[in-house]
């Protein structure tokens, strides 16, 4: 049922399940940023997304069965989900550190 639901969403949007991971990962990350009023440089939204993705992968394992579970597929899903939020987090943290360095030691 869970996999059928994800397949229906993929079909409805006309995208692959890999693309669904990418889009939903970034959307969930940004929703957590907004709802919890955290800066993009905060680890909180990234960790929330990682937790969500780990639960999603365990749900996949539960629904597919341990015998049909593929480590490579789960790793690919985690990487697809976490890639762009990780880029955004690192860029925001880099930008924040550059801004603080430019402000000087007294700021």
- Domain boundaries in the chain? 14-97
pLDDT value of position 68: 67
Residues sharing a CB contact under 8 Å with residue 18, sequence separation 6 or more, in sequence order: 76, 77, 80
Task: Return the SS3 of 36.
Answer: coil
Residues sharing a CB contact under 8 Å with residue 95, sequence separation 6 or more, in sequence order: 41
pLDDT in tens, the chain (107 residues): 677 888 899 999 999 999 999 999 999 999 999 999 999 999 999 999 999 999 999 888 887 766 666 778 889 999 999 999 999 999 999 999 999 899 877 65
pLDDT value of position 79: 97
pTM of the full structure: 0.86
Cα–Cα distances in angstroms (integers) from residue 71 to residues 20, 57, 78, in the given order: 19, 10, 11
């Amino acid at each position: 049922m869970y996999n059928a639901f994800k397949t229906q969403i993929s079909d409805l949007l006309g995208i692959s399940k890999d693309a669904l991971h990418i889009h939903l990962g970034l959307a969930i990350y940004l929703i957590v940023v907004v709802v919890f009023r955290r800066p993009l440089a905060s680890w909180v939204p990234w960790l929330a997304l990682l937790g969500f993705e780990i639960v999603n992968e365990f749900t996949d394992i539960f629904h597919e069965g341990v015998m049909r579970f593929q480590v490579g597929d789960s790793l690919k899903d985690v990487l697809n989900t976490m890639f762009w939020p990780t880029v955004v987090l690192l860029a925001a943290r880099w930008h924040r550190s550059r801004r603080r360095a430019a402000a000087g030691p007294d700021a």
